[in-house]
Every structure is written in C-alpha cells, then in structure tokens.
Amino acid sequence: MEENTSSASRHKIDVHKKEHKEEMIHQVISFILMILFTFIAFGMVVLEISSYFVKPVLILLAVIQVVFQLYYFMHMKNKGHFMPAMMMYGGLTVAFFTIITFTTIIWW
Amino acid sequence: MSQEDILNPKQMPSDPEKATPEGKNKFVGFWMFLGGETVLFASLFGTYLALVRSTSGENTPENLFGLELVFIMTMLLLTSSLTSVYAMYHMKNNDFKKMQLWLGITVVLGLGFLGCEIYEFYHYIHEYGFTFRSSAFGSAFYTLVGFHGGHVVFGLSWFIALMLRNRKRGLNLYNAPKYYIASLYWHFIDVVWVFIFTVVYLLGKVG
C-alpha cells in the first residue's frame, strides 16, 4: 500500500514536471517573439521609414509584447487568474482615460 | 501538525506560491497593487505626452536620445525577465539552488540596466546641460524614466534581500510566495519599460 502511494505521488511529480516544462517552452517562444518585435521596432526607427503608419505600428508592437509578458511570463493565461485579470483590466481602463484626458486637455 | 510541518511538507506542491492562505492573499493583493501601479504610470505617461513639446533650446527628444544605449538597456531588461521566469520554473520544481542562481543572474542583468541608466542621465546633465529644471519636457522625462529606475532599484533590493535572508532556509511554503511576488514585480518593471522605450525613445526619435 505504501509503495502504491509513493509511486502514485512520484507519478504526480512527473506530471507536474512535464507541465512546467511545457509552460517553459511557451515562455521561451514568447521571449524569442518579444526580441523579434523589439528588433522590428528599433529597425523601423533606425531605418527612418517615413510614413504615418510607423507610430501606430510601434504602439501595436509594444502592446503585443506586453500581452506576452502578462499572459506568459506573469502566468495570466493559467487557471485561477480571474482576479488578477480584473485588476489589470480595471487599471488599464483607468490608465486609458487618464492618458486621453492628459493629452487632449493640453492639445485643445 | 505544527505550523512548521505545514510550511515544510514532505512533498512540495507544484504551486508552492499559492499553497497556503497567506500565499493566496499575497497573490491577489499584489495584483491589486499592480492594477494601481498601472494607473500611476499612466498618469506619468500622460504628463510626459502633454509636456514633451515644451522644450527649451536645442534639448529636444530628437537631439538628445541615442538609440544604441536604449537598445542595450531593452535587451538587458528583457533577458532579465526571462531569467526570472527560469527562477520561478525551478521554484515550481522545488530546486532551491537553481532558483537562487537564476535570480542572481537576474540581479546582475538588472544592475547592468541600472548602470546604463545612470550613465545616460549623467551624460544628459553634463554634456547637454539637460536637467530636471531645464524645461517642462525635462521634468516630465526625469519623473517618468526616473520613477521607473526607482522601481528597478527597489526590485533589485527586494531580490537581494530575499536571496540573502533565505539562503540557508531553503524553499518552503512561507518564502515561496515572497519569491513569486518579487518576480511578478520584476516582470511588471519590464512591462513599463516596453512602453517607455516605445513612447519616449522611439516615438521621440520619429518626432
């Protein structure tokens, strides 16, 4: 009986280790993509691509990087992250209106 | 079962950071804090965007910023984010030594970032005479980027304190949440930096 439980717990550890490994692979892939996005962003500015879509594309690249950071590096894609998501989306909503307010007050 | 036995189980759970009520509370509470930090940095970004054109003399974003240093800083901080992910991977597999090692590497990379930032500010002040008081742009720039730098200092001190305090204790359910939350803080610092290098430096160069 004792042997059974210990082999069962060993099995559980192996399953967890495998899960951790899979998560790590996803994290390394997201790291590579983030490096790639950084290169594209700096490259666009260094090569002085002149057109009005440069600014929105730079912002978009930053947003994608942050999504990777939050969901993969900070584990927001995992179970049990309802409250963190609520907090972050709440914070981001207020952040959005703050920036809109600050910039438009000065412009107009 | 004594408190000590609960914190040092024979077999560590696969998510030691959330295995105790205290760990769970820290986890939720810390994300609440990060939501607040998002708003705080948004107000600094908003101020910066509002004042970025209020320059004085030659010290405009286009003239001041050099992208080489910013690129190096970005790479250092992004890589340190990955090494702290490695540290948390080893924490979940209950490998204390490797966790400490990867946190140590994270700290070294963070110190590299900090050194670059100090050099950058020093360079602006002494070569260009660009200070906190030169213009509204100067105030907004140093407040935003300096506040992020302050977070880096705090994050590094946090890691170092944890590593030293627990070096002989090993991993248990008492300190696992502490490590996990410090690493969340470190990732958040990189989140803010992504927007700083994009909004301040890259968009500053584009004009």
ipTM of the complex: 0.89
Of B37, B67, B195, the CB nearest to A46: B67
pLDDT at residue B207, as a whole number: 76
Question: How distant is the alpha carbon of residue B188 from its chain centre?
Answer: 6
What is the tens place of the pLDDT at every residue in A37-58? 999 999 999 998 877 889 999 9
* Domain annotation for chain B: domains and CATH numbers: 33-52+61-206 (1.20.120.80)
Which tens digits make up the pLDDT trace of A60-69? 999 999 999 9
For A102, the closest of B50, B195, B203 (CB atoms) is B50
Q: Give the chain A residue whose CA is nearest to the CA of B87.
A: A24
> Given the structure tokens 């879509």, which residue do they identify?
A53
Long-range contacts of B55-59, Cβ-Cβ distance < 8 Å, separation of 24 or more: B55/B135, B55/B137, B56/B134, B56/B135, B56/B137, B56/B138, B57/B134, B58/B128, B59/B128, B59/B129, B59/B130, B59/B134, B59/B135, B59/B137, B59/B138
Q: Cβ distance A76 to A85 under 8 Å?
A: yes
Alpha carbons B34 and B29: distance in angstroms, whole number: 9
Best A15, A45, A64, A86 member to test B by mutation, with max B CBs in 10 Å, is: A45
Say if the Cβ atoms of A66 and B37 lie within 8 Å.
no
pLDDT single digits (tens) B93-104: 999 999 999 999
What local confidence, expressed as pLDDT, does residue B110 receive? 98
CB of B195 within 8 Å of any CB in chain A? yes
DSSP alpha helices (H): ranges in chain B? Answer: 3-7, 21-51, 61-64, 67-92, 96-128, 136-165, 176-195, 203-206
Tell me the C-alpha to C-alpha distance, in Å, between residue B5 and each of A28, B8, B16, B26.
Answer: 36, 5, 14, 21
DSSP A74: S
Regions of chain B with pLDDT less than 50? none
Burial class for B171, CB neighbours closer than 10 Å (0-12, 13-18, 19+): buried
- When CB atoms are compared, the residue of A41, A62, A94 closest to B39 is A94
> What pLDDT score was predicted for residue B10?
82
What residues does each domain of chain A span?
Answer: 2-77, 79-108
Contacts of B189 in chain A (CB under 8 A): none
- Give residue A104's identity as a one-letter amino acid code: T
From first to last of its 108 residues, what are the pLDDT tens digits of chain A? Answer: 455 666 777 787 788 888 889 999 999 999 999 999 999 999 999 998 877 889 999 999 999 999 999 999 999 999 889 999 999 999 999 999 999 999 887 765
